[in-house]
């Protein structure tokens, strides 16, 4: 009898059932895409035109209501920012409830209620649905729009605008949108202080009365509710909503540039450059290229295994991440690729972006890339189906975009049928590598000339408007003259030189917290001390003396490195310009720049160890109006007042990545040439 061994059993299995060894070096071949059975949303329409979609899900005793208005994009023009106020104004109280009462009633039942310019949404436990619908309907029908709330919101918006002006990402977004769409397009216009201040209470009321109409609205209900019950509650709360005529708008379709266009915003204090490469595309949800564009983007720049990420991060090490997107929109879509890179590799990074875009269009994708992208996207699509809200969103999309009823049920099948040729055709259809808008936000002194290889560089301001033309610096003007003029403007060498020490206290407020900054300057002995207090408690302090420095906070102290002390000394002198020469600093005059509408000489101040700040001195007055520090941020100086024969800025606006909003600091106490002791610096 033959001995039964493992090899004998395996050979028997192979011969009987066709069992064979698996080549684990290859991905298993994909089978046919599964047929997805998506629970259909049930629907009905009220007499006033409100279309309702119901997705019943009784796994949890909760229900949510999402009301969406389908209006055309709105160009706000000289009132840009209006739509940002609508939702909060509607939530600011009704004729039946004050804002406080409304908030209390929502909180009491553990519900959620919110409004926007094109939506109102609410959710609660099933047992509280009648109450939350009553609150939702009250906000919809009876907002009172208190003027005091509008003024409060405008102040918040102005603060947010001030913050965005110094945020590289926000600046990049504004510039790219302005170039891709144009300033006279809803997607390209920007808010300014003027447009925000132009918004009136009548504008808010007119918007509400014009666009909140049931005949352009959809209501999605998801949760523990049947269609029959939904018909009852919707009719009870929304049947009285009166329909009305809603204006429609058309806009000229943005076109790609005739050739590559390069736009640059100078942000001298940046150590990185924000790069965005974009162009408008004709892409709407449901288009022939839509699903293939999802696959194309997965391959090109959607994640850590994409071409952009592998090139710019993994291979070159230029950035922490590089990404792309193909956005679909009823009006106009956009292709975009972006990254934040080190200043010194800005031009190299742009080159690699363009290289990858050209390679995508000219060489196409591989079968292996396509298979991996399909697998990734199929998994994401499947996971999204676990949420009932996804089903409601699918139903809304089918209605809003006039999609086939089985669009989402056959989504994976359509994706699975895509070939390499299909993906390559989509790349060719959507991207024109020779008509790109290339934008950069960074240190123009370092990168402007390097960017010229990609096209003529046009300078823009931090709001996306063309930068003001600044006069050329007089050929006879030197950087030493700029500093001398500044010292003369604030009082002259004799008066400035007589100030050997100072104690200064500034008060400010950050997010409702009272902040106090105490500074002690000893110019003669090169000593400096600073305390930052919040609510009367010292949160951080720093000391520099005898060439050493220490930073303390939250019970810990850290000694500064020599490089940190060297950099800190740029701010440790009271009126430091008087000491630039003796400190051995290198000064460079870098032209005339626009500082919030004021022409100013830009002076780069560099220490022996390489630290630097950029100072700006008004061409007209000679006064210092701004300082850019790569560590502490930007400081704007204003409200100059005469103290001991010297003009001192009594107000400072500090913008830093370390604080969420601009810090408005006022000098509340100033002692010049006070008696100082060793205790002041311990």
- 460: helix, strand or coil: strand
- pLDDT score at 35: 57
Which tokens in the block code for residue 433? Answer: 């590598």
Listing DSSP states for 604-635 in one string gives: EEE-TTS-EEEEEEETTT--EEEEEETTTEEE
Taking alpha carbons only, the member of 385, 69, 393 closest to residue 220 is 393
Quick one: which H or E segment has residue 647?
strand 646-655
Contact (CB, 8 A) for 618 and 599: yes
Q: Rounded CA gap, 309 and 297, in Å? A: 12
- pLDDT score at 27: 47
- pLDDT score at 219: 96
Q: Rounded CA gap, 653 and 636, in Å? A: 5
What would the pLDDT profile of 118-168 be if each residue is shown by its tens digit?
999 999 999 999 999 999 999 999 999 999 999 999 999 998 998 898 899
What would the pLDDT profile of 377-430 be if each residue is shown by its tens digit?
999 998 888 888 888 889 899 998 999 989 999 999 999 999 999 999 999 999
Chain mean position to CA 628: 22
Q: Rounded CA gap, 393 and 384, in Å? A: 11
* Domains of the chain by start residue, with CATH: 42-238 (3.30.830.10), 261-460 (3.30.830.10), 479-681 (2.50.20.10)
Which tokens in the block code for residue 608? Answer: 């022996």
CA distances from 607 to 565, 566, 612, 629, 681 (A): 11, 7, 6, 13, 24
- pLDDT score at 129: 95
Residue 353 CB contacts under 8 Å (≥ 6 apart), including other chains: 275, 277, 308, 312, 322, 337, 339
- Segments in the chain below pLDDT 70: 1-39
- 408: helix, strand or coil: coil
Enter the DSSP assignment of 303.
Answer: S
Taking alpha carbons only, the member of 362, 313, 302, 370 closest to residue 336 is 302
Residue 146 CB-density burial (10 A; 0-12 exposed, 13-18 middle, 19+ buried): middle
Residue for token pair 């994706």: 415
- pLDDT score at 37: 64
Edge to edge, the sheet with strand 333-342 lists 319-327, 333-342, 272-281, 437-442, 261-266, 457-460
Residue 411 CB contacts under 8 Å (≥ 6 apart), including other chains: 36, 291, 381
CA distances from 154 to 163, 165, 663, 676 (A): 14, 16, 18, 45
Q: Rounded CA gap, 214 and 64, in Å? A: 19
Contact (CB, 8 A) for 575 and 499: yes
């Amino acid at each position: 009898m033959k001995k039964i061994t493992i090899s004998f059993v395996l050979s028997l299995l192979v011969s009987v059932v066709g069992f064979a060894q698996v080549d684990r070096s290859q991905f298993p071949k994909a089978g046919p895409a599964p047929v997805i059975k998506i629970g259909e949303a049930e629907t009905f329409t009220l007499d006033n035109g409100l279309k309702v979609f119901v997705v019943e899900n009784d796994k949890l005793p909760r229900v949510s209501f999402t009301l969406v208005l389908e209006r055309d994009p709105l160009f706000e023009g000289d009132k840009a920012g209006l739509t940002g106020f609508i939702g909060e104004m509607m939530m600011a109280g009704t004729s039946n409830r004050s804002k406080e009462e409304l908030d209390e009633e929502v909180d009491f039942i553990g519900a959620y209620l919110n409004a926007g310019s094109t939506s109102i949404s609410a959710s609660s436990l099933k047992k509280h649905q009648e109450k939350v619908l009553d609150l939702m309907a009250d906000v919809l029908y009876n907002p009172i729009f208190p003027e005091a709330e509008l003024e409060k919101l405008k102040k918040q918006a102005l603060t947010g605008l001030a913050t965005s002006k110094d945020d590289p990402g926000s600046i990049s977004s504004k510039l790219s949108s302005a170039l891709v769409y144009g300033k006279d397009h809803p997607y390209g216009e920007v808010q300014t202080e003027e447009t925000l201040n132009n918004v009136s209470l009548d504008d808010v009321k007119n918007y509400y009365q014009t666009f909140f109409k049931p005949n352009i609205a959809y209501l999605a209900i998801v949760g523990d509710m049947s269609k029959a019950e939904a018909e009852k509650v919707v009719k009870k709360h929304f049947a009285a909503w009166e329909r009305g005529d809603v204006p429609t708008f058309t806009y000229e379709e943005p076109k790609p540039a005739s050739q590559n266009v390069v736009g640059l915003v100078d942000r001298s204090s940046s150590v990185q450059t924000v790069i965005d490469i974009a162009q408008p595309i004709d892409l709407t949800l449901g288009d022939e290229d839509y699903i293939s564009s999802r696959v194309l983007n997965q391959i090109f720049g959607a994640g850590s295994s994409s071409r952009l990420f592998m090139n710019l991060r993994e291979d070159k090490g230029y950035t922490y991440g590089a990404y792309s997107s193909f956005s679909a929109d009823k009006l106009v879509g956009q292709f975009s690729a972006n990254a934040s890179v080190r200043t010194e590799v800005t031009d190299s990074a742009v080159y690699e972006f363009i290289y990858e875009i050209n390679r995508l269009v000219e060489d196409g994708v591989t079968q292996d890339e396509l298979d991996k992208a399909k697998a990734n996207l199929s998994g994401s699509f499947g996971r999204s189906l676990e949420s009932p809200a996804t089903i409601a969103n699918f139903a809304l999309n089918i209605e809003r975009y006039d999609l086939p009823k089985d669009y989402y049920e056959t989504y994976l099948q359509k994706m699975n049928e895509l070939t390499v040729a299909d993906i390559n055709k989509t790349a060719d259809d959507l991207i024109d590598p020779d008509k790109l808008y290339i934008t950069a936000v960074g240190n123009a002194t370092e990168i402007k000339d390097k960017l010229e290889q990609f096209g003529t560089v046009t300078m823009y301001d931090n709001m996306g408007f063309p930068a003001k033309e600044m006069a050329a610096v007089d050929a006879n003007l030197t950087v030493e003259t700029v500093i001398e003029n500044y010292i003369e403007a604030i009082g002259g060498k004799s008066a400035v030189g007589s100030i050997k020490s100072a104690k200064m206290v500034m008060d400010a407020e950050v997010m409702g917290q009272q902040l106090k900054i105490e500074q002690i300057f000893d110019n003669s002995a090169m000593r400096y001390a600073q305390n930052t207090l919040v609510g009367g408690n010292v949160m951080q302090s720093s000391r520099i003396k005898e060439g050493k420095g220490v930073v303390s906070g939250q019970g810990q102290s850290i000694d500064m490195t020599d490089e940190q002390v060297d950099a800190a000394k740029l701010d440790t002198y009271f009126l430091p310009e008087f000491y630039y020469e003796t400190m051995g600093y290198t000064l460079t005059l870098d032209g005339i720049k626009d500082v919030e509408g004021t022409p100013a000489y830009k002076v780069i101040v560099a220490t022996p160890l390489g630290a630097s700040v950029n100072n700006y001195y008004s061409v007209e007055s000679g006064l210092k109006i701004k300082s850019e520090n790569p560590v502490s941020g930007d400081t704007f100086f204003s409200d100059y007042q005469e103290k001991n024969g010297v003009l001192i800025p009594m107000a400072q606006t500090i913008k830093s990545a370390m604080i969420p909003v601009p810090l408005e600091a006022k000098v509340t106490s100033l002692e010049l040439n006070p008696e100082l002791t060793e205790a002041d610096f311990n």
